[in-house]
Each structure stands twice: as C-alpha cells, then as structure tokens.
C-alpha cells in the first residue's frame, strides 16, 4: 500500500458522519507554580495560575473526529449541571450537534481534574488527578431515549464508535440490538472499552491497549511476543470481531485479523513520549474514519499509528489535523 493510498483515504474523511456513543466526561486542568514544601505535611505548595476545560472520554473522540474533517454525532448522557453545560457549550462553539446528548436531572457529569505544576519557564507536569465519577442509571425511560438516538444514527451515519469508560452509558442490552441493526446496514462498529472489553461481542474492531487486553483475559504478557499473539487471537475469538488492534505505547501496535498473521507496526516518531493522555481516543477515531472510508484493516491501523505517534508528542488531550497526518506519512 503506497503513501498516496493512505493520503487519499484521509481526503475521504471529510464530511463523514460518525456516531460516538459513550461516556462523556469533563476534563478540568488546573495549572500552578511549584513554590515550596508545606510545613503542614510533606507535600508541594502550588500557586494557582489558571484552569482550562475540555470534553473528555467520548468527548475527546468527538473532537478528534471533528479535527479530521468528519461530522461527529455525540450520543450519551450528561448531567443537568455546570459540567454538562461546559461540554454542550464546547461542542456548540465547534458546530457539533448536541441534540443526542441527554441532560439528566440528579445525575452529575463525571469530571477528571488534572493538576499540573512546575517552576516558571519549565514544562508543567501532572502531579495529581482527581476523578468525580457517576454511573448512568438503568431507567427504562432513559434507555428508550438512548436507543431512539442510536436508531436514528444507524440510518444517517457511516460508522458507530463506542467509547466506554465504565460509567455505563453503553448498556449491553442496547448494544445487542444496535449491533444487529448495524449489520443490516453494513456499518462498521468500533470499540474502545476500558474495563468491559469482552462485554461487546460482534464489534467490527476493538482497540485495547496492552494492559486492557491483559485485564480482560486475566493474563500477563510481560513483553513475551508469543503471549501477545496468544492474547490477540483469544480476543478475536471471544469478541467474534473481524479484527483487534492492541496498542503498546512506545512499542507500537499489533493488528490481529481472522485467518491472517499478526501485523506488527513499530511506533511512528520518537519513543520519548510527552503525554499519552487521550491517545487511545485518537487511535480509534482514525480507525473508525478509515473503515468508514472503505479502507482495509491494515491501512486503518497504519494511519492510526501515524496519528497516535503525533498525538503523544503533544501535551494533554490533543488532536491531529489531516495535514499533520499527511505530513507524517511523507516524512
């Protein structure tokens, strides 16, 4: 497959409608200067500088898709609260539709607060993360509303991306009905699941990182290539999927397909990674767009590897542009 073939795929990303069903989180970043050690306890005193907000979780996949020229459709549940309003406002400012985001009373939008600190004129490092978590309830009326949005998405989107952070927006019984509808419409369904990987049989492709694969299979790979291959093949069978892409950080990726030898892809760019936050969201976004554009799994994985290599060199949850991706392919 030539470089030009991959670049042509990127051009086909423009205007693709991709539904993103998952857990929408507000990412909060608090920045400060490190001053001294407290006399009250052996902890840093951080002088507050500023704070920033961005959609996280499934929201980061939405932003990645949008940055690559697609038209994402977020489907999920947020609270009728300030954090939920920040997510809605962020999307509206970028012309991303919010009609399929359900504002639920008495539900608190999950928030991940990252505290980043450093001395003046130095790069700030993450020193602490605080998670305010919430589980989406099993209410019949809520499930019905969610499924109505999913049914509409099947008829007007070119793929469904599932972004599961274990806050239970992605209900397995809704998934079972959705996957049948997607098969009828021949829509790719891609999966990024933190803790429930094996709960979603029948997806087109799943993109776990190595620790997620180990946790799902209750095994340790420990840099053993034979165990890695065994894990990938086990996931293929248990998920009944067409492909599985295991991401391995600085060691690159491995693609597993039915009746094919494992396809090992070395990391693109430097192994001196700046920040892995949100890299998985970038990878699955590119995989989804490539498959929706008609690519095969190897082409999709290669493109995702370029994108992942670019985004881990950026600070925080970041995105890549079509031109950045094309430049990476040419380099």
Sketch out the chain's domains with CATH numbers. 3-25+56-109+135-330 (3.40.1190.20)
What is the spatial distance between Cα 169 and Cα 21, in angstroms, rounded to a whole number?
A: 8
Q: Give the contacts of 137 (CB within 8 A, at least 6 positions apart).
A: 104, 107
User: What's the pLDDT at 311?
Assistant: 82
Single pTM value for the model: 0.94
| In contact, 24 and 101? CB cutoff 8 Å | yes
Give the rounded distance of the alpha carbon of 221 from its chain centre: 23
Task: Note whether 164 and 192 are within 8 A (CB).
Answer: yes
d(CA 23, CA 254): 26
Q: In a structure prediction context, what are the per-residue pLDDT tens digits for the chain, which is 331 residues long?
A: 688 889 999 999 999 999 999 999 999 999 999 989 999 999 999 999 999 999 999 999 999 999 999 999 999 999 999 999 999 999 999 999 999 999 999 999 999 999 999 988 888 889 999 999 999 999 999 999 999 999 999 999 999 999 999 999 999 999 999 999 999 999 999 999 999 999 999 999 999 999 999 999 999 998 889 999 999 999 999 999 999 999 998 889 999 999 999 999 998 876 555 556 668 899 999 999 999 999 999 999 999 999 988 887 766 667 899 999 999 998 8
Catalytic residue annotation: 281
Alpha carbon distances (Å) from 277 to 90, 172, 290, 311, 316: 19, 27, 22, 9, 6
CA distance 331 to 325: 10
Cβ of 159: how many Cβ atoms within 10 Å?
Answer: 25
**What does the angle CA 28 – CA 280 – CA 308 come to, to the nearest 5 degrees?**
110
**CA proximity to 72, closest of 288, 252, 316, 326:** 288
Look up residue 12 and give its two tokens.
């086909």
**pLDDT confidence of residue 314:** 66
Helix (H, G, I), strand (E, B) or coil at 260: coil
Q: What are phi and psi of 125, to 5 degrees?
A: -110, 150
Residue 295 to residue 249: CA distance in whole angstroms: 24
CA-to-CA distance for 269 and 256, rounded, in angstroms?
Answer: 23
């Amino acid at each position: 497959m030539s470089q030009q073939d991959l670049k042509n795929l990127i051009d086909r990303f423009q205007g693709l409608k991709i539904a993103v069903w998952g857990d929408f989180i507000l990412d909060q970043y608090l920045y400060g200067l490190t001053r001294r050690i407290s006399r009250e306890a052996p902890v840093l005193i951080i002088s507050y500088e500023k704070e920033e907000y961005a959609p996280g979780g499934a929201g980061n996949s939405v932003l990645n898709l949008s940055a690559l020229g697609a038209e994402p459709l977020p489907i999920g549940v947020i609270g009728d609260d300030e954090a939920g309003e920040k997510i809605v406002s962020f999307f509206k400012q970028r012309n991303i539709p919010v009609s399929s985001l359900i504002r639920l009373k008495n539900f608190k939008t999950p928030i991940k607060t990252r505290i980043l600190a450093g001395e003046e004129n130095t790069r700030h490092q993450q020193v602490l993360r605080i998670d305010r978590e919430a589980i989406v309830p099993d209410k019949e009326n809520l499930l019905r509303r969610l499924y109505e949005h999913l049914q509409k998405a099947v008829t007007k989107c070119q793929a469904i991306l599932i972004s599961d952070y274990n806050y239970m927006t992605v209900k397995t019984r809704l998934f079972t009905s959705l996957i049948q509808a997607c098969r009828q419409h021949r829509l790719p369904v891609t999966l990024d699941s933190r803790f429930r990987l094996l709960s979603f049989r029948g997806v087109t492709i799943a993109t776990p990182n190595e620790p997620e694969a180990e946790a799902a299979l209750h095994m340790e790979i420990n840099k053993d290539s034979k165990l890695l291959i065994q894990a990938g093949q086990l996931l293929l069978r248990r998920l009944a999927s067409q492909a599985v892409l295991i991401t391995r950080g600085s060691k690159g990726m491995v693609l597993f397909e039915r009746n094919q030898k494992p396809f090992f892809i070395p990391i693109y760019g430097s192994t001196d990674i700046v920040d892995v936050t949100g890299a998985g969201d970038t990878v699955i976004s590119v995989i989804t767009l490539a498959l929706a554009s008609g690519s095969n799994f190897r082409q999709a994985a290669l493109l995702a590897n370029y994108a992942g290599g670019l985004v881990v060199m950026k600070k925080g949850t970041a995105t890549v542009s079509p031109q950045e991706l094309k430049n990476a392919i040419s380099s």
